[in-house]
């Protein structure tokens, strides 16, 4: 649906309404005749002269009443893309907003095919967990001093493995 403002009220016109107006205007070449025919057929307020003439001109030019594709943001030069790439290689933890302010460019990592992410822990920690975690850290530091323990130690960002065989993959969201 498309809208046209008439004396403060917003009138919505469908593609069918527009097509009718364009065909009538092509036959009669009179916007007043189009308005009369529109009121008779649809039993509602007709579009304004400007709208009828604009729809007809668009149909003659494009062959369609569909809305034009919008061009979107202006393109960024390759020089600017390279400037952003080097800025993020120097300091990858820099926020997109901070980099865009420094380089005076629109904020975007899309052209670089870089995806920022944050790890978010979703398991709830209780007050009793803090001393247990400290004890674990101390025990791990003692074990790391033993020869050969670090060869048997493995870290994974894929899941949490428990001694009973259960694998929890849902504690961390990326």
SS3 track for the chain: CEEEEECCEEEEECHHHHHHHHHHHHHHCCHHHHHHHHHHHHCCCCCCHHHHHHHHHHHHHHCCCCCCCCCCCCCCCHHHHHHHHHHHHHCCCCCHHHHHHHHCCCCCCCCCCCCCCCCEECCCCCCCHHHHHHHHHHHHHHHHHCCCHHHHCCCCCCCEECCCCCEECCCEEC
Name, in order, each residue with C-beta under 8 angstroms of 118's C-beta and a sequence gap of 6 or more.
174
Q: Divide the 174 residues of the chain into consecutive groups of 10 and give the mean pLDDT of each group.
A: 48 84 90 92 90 90 78 71 79 76 70 62 77 90 81 67 63 52
Angle at 103 between CA 100 and CA 108, to 5 degrees: 35
Whole-model pTM over 0.85: no
The model's pLDDT over 74-119, given as tens digits with 9 standing for 90+, comes to 667 778 777 877 887 788 777 777 877 787 776 655 666 666 665 6
Task: Domain ranges for the chain, please list them.
Answer: 2-62
């Amino acid at each position: 649906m498309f809208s046209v403002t008439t004396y403060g009220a917003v009138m919505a016109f469908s593609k069918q309404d527009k097509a009718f107006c364009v065909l009538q205007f092509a036959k009669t070449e009179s916007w007043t005749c189009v308005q009369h025919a529109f009121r008779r057929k649809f039993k509602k307020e007709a579009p304004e002269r400007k709208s009828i003439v604009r729809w007809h001109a668009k149909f003659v030019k494009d062959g369609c009443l569909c809305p034009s594709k919008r061009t979107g943001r202006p393109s960024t030069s390759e020089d600017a893309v390279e400037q952003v790439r080097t800025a993020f290689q120097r300091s990858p933890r820099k926020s997109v907003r901070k980099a865009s302010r420094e380089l005076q460019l629109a904020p975007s990592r899309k052209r670089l095919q870089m995806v920022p992410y944050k790890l978010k822990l979703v398991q709830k920690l209780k007050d009793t967990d803090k001393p247990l975690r400290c004890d674990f850290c101390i025990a791990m530091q003692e074990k790391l001093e033993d020869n050969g323990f670090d060869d048997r130690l493995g870290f994974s960002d894929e899941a949490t493995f428990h001694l009973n065989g259960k694998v929890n993959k849902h504690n961390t969201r990326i």
